[in-house]
């Protein structure tokens, strides 16, 4: 590759990461479009072959050998094709070959119709090649022009850009198609409408608002882990749907943090998730002497704390899977204590009886615990309050009690009342005669003392006059 075109092809391959064959195909399609623009004829099927080493190109008119058609057959085919196209235009649908309507085994009219641009009758083909047979491809080399016009060059440029872009999109699609059901690291770009764009390196992922966690905030430049939900090819290129709230994201984080899941010693049987709030994960051990819950929790909770941090502080309940549906439902409703479980196989319903002090714990905040347990087990769980047995009490009414008039009842009531004690002869309220005299004398002295200031006041007033 010493010529400039070869160097340019190599540079494009290195920058875009696409194979050299795709760039050469784009170049050949561009040269064919440029030749058709300036030098091509109406019924020519142009194909260009480019030699990378020499930088030369060869132009051919390629046609397929078909049987001979009469003029009447060609006219009838043209009329039928025009009628079919008009009916399709009126219905607003694309023309559909008959083999798509009636089955692949039947040949469509489109396949039988003679196309002078791509077909050549066997009689005309044998003039170019004596042993030409039906189905064979006849190539006729055309003269290569020394230069192309400005419009042809512009057309070639557009074709090259389009073909390279298509090759790049196809490469990205094949690369990320293998990454479905995986967790990737990305960078938040921006919010666009009802979705958040995440840079995944070669491509940009789209995270709808329904796949986000309501407690999380996604600022431009934040590094986040996302779960690849689906990769599909659209008219605008590959579309990569990523999520932060998908239940499988919890499963993938467990597989990344717990090596026993990778070896097959432990298996995750189910995951139910209320994104940002709580998740329930059921696990089972396939080897003896292995505690599945303890392996997931880790020493002093080291493993589960790492998982909770990866999920943004979301609480995670690890429960043990059981083949018995009743035991599985009891485990799924933990930490609530369950009295009994009634299963109805026909309706796939389970009635769970819980004591009164465990009722709110079994339901959970906003019904979260029982809802996650139903999703995990696949049973419609109904929590029933199991009240403690107490002796029946007579209803208390608000009427006044009836007064008894019988002699026996009055005598009983009289006997209940204790007898009144006789008053003591030495009542503390009574005083002796000597004590009464002393009190009278004290009263008289206080009265005289009170009158002395009044008499002194009167004498002073008379002296002043």
Q: Which residue has the higher pLDDT, 235 or 431?
A: 235
91 vs 346: which has the higher pLDDT: 346
Q: Comparing 433 with 154, which gets the higher pLDDT?
A: 154
Q: How high is the pLDDT of residue 100?
A: 43
Give the mean pLDDT of 166-184.
89
* Token pair belonging to 264: 């097959």
Q: Which domains does the chain have, with CATH numbers?
A: 4-166 (3.30.1480.10), 179-243 (2.40.50.140), 246-321 (3.30.300.20), 326-388 (3.30.300.20)
Distances (CA, A) of 247 to 179, 203, 272, 463: 17, 24, 6, 116
Residue 80, pLDDT > 80, answer: no
| pLDDT over 50 at 1, yes or no | no
Average pLDDT score, the chain: 77
153 pLDDT band (50/70/90 cuts)? confident
303: tokens are 């493993």
- Mean pLDDT along residues 122-129: 82
Contacts 24+ apart (CB under 8 A), 355-360: 355/386, 355/388, 356/385, 356/386, 356/387, 356/388, 359/383, 359/385
Q: What is the model's pLDDT at position 184?
A: 93
Structure confidence by residue, pLDDT tens digits, 293-337: 999 998 888 999 999 998 888 999 999 999 999 999 999 998 888
Quick one: which of 48, 51, 61, 62 has its CA closest to 148? 48
- Res. 91 pLDDT band, cuts 50 70 90: low
Cα→Cα distances 13→154, 263, 298, Å: 22, 40, 48
- How far, in whole angstroms, is CA 112 from its chain's centroid? 50
Report CA Rg, the chain. Answer: 50
Distances 74 to 34, 125, 135 between C-alpha atoms, Å? 31, 18, 19
At residue 39, the pLDDT reads 83
Amino acid 388: pLDDT: 55
Instruction: Read off the pLDDT of each residue in 351-357 and give the average, rounded to a whole number.
Output: 89
> How far apart are alpha carbons 352 and 341 in whole angstroms?
5
Per-residue confidence (pLDDT) for residue 150, from 0 to 100 = 79
Kindly give the residue spans of alpha helices, DSSP state H, lying in 364-432. Answer: 368-377, 407-416
- From CA 292, how far away is CA 288, in angstroms rounded? 10
pLDDT tens-digit map of 358-385: 888 889 888 999 999 999 999 999 998 8
Note the pLDDT of residue 165. Answer: 86
Mean pLDDT of 227-251: 91
**% of the chain at pLDDT higher than 70:** 78
pLDDT of 321 reads 92
pLDDT band at 171 (very low <50, low <70, confident <90, very high): confident
pLDDT value for 400: 31
Q: What torsion do the CA atoms of 74, 77, 79, 83 make, to the nearest 10 degrees?
A: -170
Nearest Cα neighbor of 316 from 237, 383, 264, 249 is 249
Dist CA 278 CA 308 (whole Å): 10
Task: State mean pLDDT over 195-210.
Answer: 92
Give the separation between CA 198 and CA 241, rounded to whole angstroms: 10
pLDDT at position 26 is 86
Residue 198 confidence class, pLDDT cut points 50, 70, 90: very high
Mark residue 292 as left, alpha or beta (left: phi above 0; alpha: psi -120 to 50; beta: remaining): alpha
Name the 3-class secondary structure at 254. Answer: helix
97-111, 114-128, 289-303: segment of lowest average pLDDT: 97-111
Q: Which of 114-118, 422-426, 449-453 has the lowest mean pLDDT?
A: 422-426
């Amino acid at each position: 590759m010493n010529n400039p075109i070869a160097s340019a092809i190599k540079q494009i391959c290195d920058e875009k990461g696409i194979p050299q064959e795709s760039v050469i195909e784009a170049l050949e399609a561009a040269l064919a479009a440029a030749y058709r623009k300036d030098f091509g004829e109406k019924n020519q099927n142009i194909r260009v072959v480019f030699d990378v080493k020499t930088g030369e190109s060869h132009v051919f008119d390629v046609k397929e050998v078909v049987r001979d058609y009469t003029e009447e057959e060609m006219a009838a085919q043209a009329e039928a094709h025009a009628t079919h196209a008009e009916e399709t235009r009126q219905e607003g649908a694309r023309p559909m070959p008959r083999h798509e309507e009636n089955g692949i085994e039947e040949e469509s009219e489109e396949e039988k119709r003679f196309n002078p641009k791509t077909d050549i009758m066997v009689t005309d083909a044998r003039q170019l090649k004596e042993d030409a047979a039906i189905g064979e491809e006849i190539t006729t080399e055309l003269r290569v022009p020394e230069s192309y016009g400005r419009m042809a060059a512009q057309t070639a440029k557009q074709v090259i850009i389009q073909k390279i872009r298509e090759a790049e999109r196809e490469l990205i699609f094949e690369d990320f198609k293998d990454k479905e059901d995986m967790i990737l690291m990305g960078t938040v770009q921006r919010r666009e409408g009802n979705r958040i764009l995440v840079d995944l390196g070669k491509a940009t992922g789209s995270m709808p608002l329904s796949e986000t966690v309501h407690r999380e905030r996604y600022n431009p430049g934040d590094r986040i882990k996302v779960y690849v939900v689906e990769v599909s090819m659209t008219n605008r290129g590959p579309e990569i749907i990523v999520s932060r709230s998908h239940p499988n994201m919890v499963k993938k984080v467990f597989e990344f943090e717990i090596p026993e899941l990778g070896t097959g010693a432990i298996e995750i049987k189910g995951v139910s998730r209320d994104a940002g709030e709580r998740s329930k994960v059921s696990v089972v051990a396939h080897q003896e002497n292995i505690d599945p819950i303890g392996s997931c929790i880790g020493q002093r909770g080291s493993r589960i704390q790492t998982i909770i941090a990866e999920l943004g502080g979301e609480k995670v309940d690890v429960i043990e899977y059981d083949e018995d549906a009743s035991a599985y439902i009891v485990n799924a409703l933990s930490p609530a204590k369950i009295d009994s479980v009634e299963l109805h196989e026909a309706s796939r319903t389970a009635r769970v009886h819980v004591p009164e002090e465990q009722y709110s714990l079994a339901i959970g905040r906003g019904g979260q615990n029982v809802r996650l347990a139903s999703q995990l087990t696949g049973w419609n769980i109904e929590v029933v309050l199991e009240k403690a047995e107490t002796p029946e009490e007579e209803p208390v009414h608000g009427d006044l009690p009836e007064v008894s008039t019988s002699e026996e009842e009055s005598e009983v009531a009289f006997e209940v009342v204790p007898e009144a004690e006789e008053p003591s002869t030495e009542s503390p309220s009574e005083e002796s005669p000597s004590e009464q005299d002393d009190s009278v004398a004290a009263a008289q002295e206080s009265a005289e003392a009170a009158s002395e200031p009044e008499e002194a006041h009167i004498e002073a007033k008379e002296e002043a006059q």
